[in-house]
Structure 1
Amino acid sequence: MLAYRHAFHAGNHADVLKHLVLAQVLRYMGEKDKAYTLVDTHAGAGGYSVESRYAQKNAEYGTGIAKLYDRKDLPAPLAAYVDLVRQFNPDGQLRQYPGSPAVAHLLMREHDRLRCYELHPTDHRILASYLESRPNTQVSDRDGFASLKGELPPPSRRAVVLMDPPYEIKTDYAKVLAALREGLQKFAEGVFLIWYPQLQLLESSQLAQRLKATADASAKKGWLHVRLTVAQADERGYGMLGSGMFIANPPYTLYDELQECLPYLVERLGQYDGANFVLEQKAV
């Protein structure tokens, strides 16, 4: 688990989908004056150089954020997301990519609470340094899954939880499911964002249905599920085909915002003729 470094994948198609959703949710949460808490269970380093040897190994950002960075025809939610990436690159050139904590840092207000968990010692040290001056912020090197129950419910009873483990070990799928179940039991009104990779793997293909069943039982405002498929598996059946986001208690605005963006993302990020998206929700 501690061998995983997101720097190899920063800015790829999965990050585009994940951070588009995260940014729209945080903007929605910021529309009310009352503070909210963001809990990031697998926070990473906060930001990544796309010029580093890690990012350059497979240059995954080239088929992700780089396809959008200079476009002038972006749908409004995508344009707002790309503007966040631009803010992270003051000279205008795409050199750095903001991870989830950096997206949060750019959008959250001083009185909003940020709680980041990261086990990798190097990434934890980088993240703690990046966020050291932000008020109402804690960066911990404890396990995010195990710590989640202690964060809920937050003092203001407004919260977003982001769970995006690497899924390099299959037990992460079960841990995500258990964390959602326990999180909703502790705080049924919370907004839970779960990212997952689209793989030709049983655990991956079944996860969305299992998350839906959990949300059906406990989420007060229903759920939303989005999946973006951009690639085909290789001849051995390996490779990430795309990724998905499952949101329990989504903002009511999110479905329409994603509906506006997904056809564009299929067109720009799709790597084969069968590229597609799924967007579904159950409102309560």
Structure 2
Amino acid sequence: MNYRHGFHAGNFADVLKHVVLARILLHLAAKDKPYRLIDTHAGAGRYDLGSDEALRTHEWRDGVARLAQSPLAPAVEELLAPWREAVAAAREAHGSSAYPGSPWICRHAMRAEDRLIAAELHDNTFRKLSEALGRDRRCKALEIDGWTALRANVPPKERRGLVLIDPPFEERDEFATMAQAVIEAHRKWASGIYALWYPLKDRDGAEAMLDALLEAGIGRLLRLEIEVDRPEAAGGLGATGMLLINPPWRLAEEAQILLPALAERLAQGPRPRYRCEPIRPDG
């Protein structure tokens, strides 16, 4: 599939990715030592849900807009708070239809000593990314292929941090490419957190990616998935997931609270599902 950020900004897959990202950033900030963030396929950094692209699909209506309707249970809202704060800050700065992409959420959460590298290959999107990050000296936008950016920037000098990987899945072998890139990066920086986002249309590809990581000896994995039971007649994406390497130690516990609530609120059919599966948690 071709997953271009602008058409899908704020949809249920974005919500899962960004809520989990915000939780990881919170955990990273729990220690005083600085961290490095590497966003390999950064996109535009910030989106307008009133743009032609967003209005062509209206996917945000079944994503971020659903969560704006009414609060969820207090325990869920406590975990959603970092993401909600980032969305609110983006809208305060850029208008009520703004939605922050992952680089914007990273920049919002970062402290003075933390650093972000955001890679984006497409010219027009890179210009938007540069504008979204502004002159913030903590952030560096690179007009470069994401896999090249990953190879060139691990291990970071801080020796702690996160690699976020969410390619557009334009190529048929994207799962294999992602697995190989992560295996090579992990050999150089085994202690880093890696967050791999994927659409769940090609389940065989997702399973093959997981198998490749396991065969490479990578442990401490956490698989998070939600399926919104989107009717086939509606087309498009109905399920999404994230595979985390070296997740913060309480993230699985938090996901057990978050995922059922998100699956229920974001459901488009009667049988939403979720998965929270630690894999080799002591690996």
> Which residue of structure 2 aligns with residue 117 of structure 1?
119
| Contact 1:39–1:115 under 8 Å retained in 2 | yes
> Which residue of structure 2 aligns with residue 234 of structure 1?
232
| Contact 2:163–2:192 under 8 Å retained in 1 | yes
Note if 1:249 corresponds to 2:251: no
120-129 or 68-77, which deviates more: 68-77
Give 1:72's aligned amino acid. P
Alpha-carbon distance, 1:71 to partner: 2.1
Helix, strand or coil: the match of 1:85?
helix
**Residue from 190, 198, 216 that aligns with 1:196:** 198
Question: Which string of whole-angstrom CA distances, capped at 9 and with x for unpartnered residues, describes residues 197-223 of structure 1?
Answer: 010563245434444444xx134xx11
More helix by share: 2
| Contact 2:176–2:208 under 8 Å retained in 1 | no
Distance 2:146 2:94 in 1: 34
Distance 2:213 2:12 in 1: 22
Distance 1:41 1:91 in 2: 25
Distance 2:268 2:207 in 1: 20
196-205 or 15-24, which deviates more: 196-205
**Residue from 261, 274, 277 that aligns with 2:274:** 277
Question: Which string of whole-angstrom CA distances, capped at 9 and with x for unpartnered residues, describes residues 132-182 of structure 1?
Answer: 321232111111112212211111111200000011211221111011101
Structural mapping, 1:201-240, within 5 Å: 202-214=204-216, 217-219=217-219, 222-232=220-230, 234=232, 239-240=236-237
CA RMSD of aligned residues (A): 2.1
Distance 1:277 1:37 in 2: 30
Ranges in structure 2 where 5+ consecutive residues have no aligned partner: none
Distance 1:127 1:22, change over 3 A: same
> Which residue of structure 1 aligns with residue 142 of structure 2?
140
Structural mapping, 1:1-284, within 5 Å: 5-74=4-73, 75=76, 76-90=78-92, 94-200=96-202, 202-214=204-216, 217-219=217-219, 222-232=220-230, 234=232, 239-281=236-278, 282-284=280-282
251-260 or 71-80, which deviates more: 71-80
Distance 1:207 1:104 in 2: 26
Distance 1:151 1:91 in 2: 31
Alpha-carbon distance, 1:196 to partner: 0.4
Distance 1:142 1:265 in 2: 34
Ranges in structure 1 where 5+ consecutive residues have no aligned partner: none
TM-score (norm 1): 0.91
| Contact 1:110–1:135 under 8 Å retained in 2 | no
Question: Which string of whole-angstrom CA distances, capped at 9 and with x for unpartnered residues, describes residues 52-105 of structure 1?
Answer: 110000100000000002422351112331222111111897411100001001
Give 1:260's aligned amino acid. I
194-203 or 52-61, which deviates more: 194-203
131-140 or 186-195, which deviates more: 131-140
Give 1:242's aligned amino acid. A
Any runs of at least 4 consecutive aligned residues in structure 1 with deviations exceeding 3 A, and if so which? 91-94, 204-214
Give 1:27's aligned amino acid. L
Helix, strand or coil: the match of 1:156?
coil
Helix, strand or coil: the match of 1:274?
coil
Distance 2:3 2:242 in 1: 20
Distance 1:87 1:235, change over 3 A: closer
TM-score (norm 2): 0.91
| Contact 1:149–1:186 under 8 Å retained in 2 | no
Distance 2:168 2:4 in 1: 9
Distance 1:241 1:5 in 2: 16
| Contact 1:86–1:92 under 8 Å retained in 2 | no
- Identical pairs, percent: 36
Alpha-carbon distance, 1:256 to partner: 1.1
Alpha-carbon distance, 1:273 to partner: 1.5
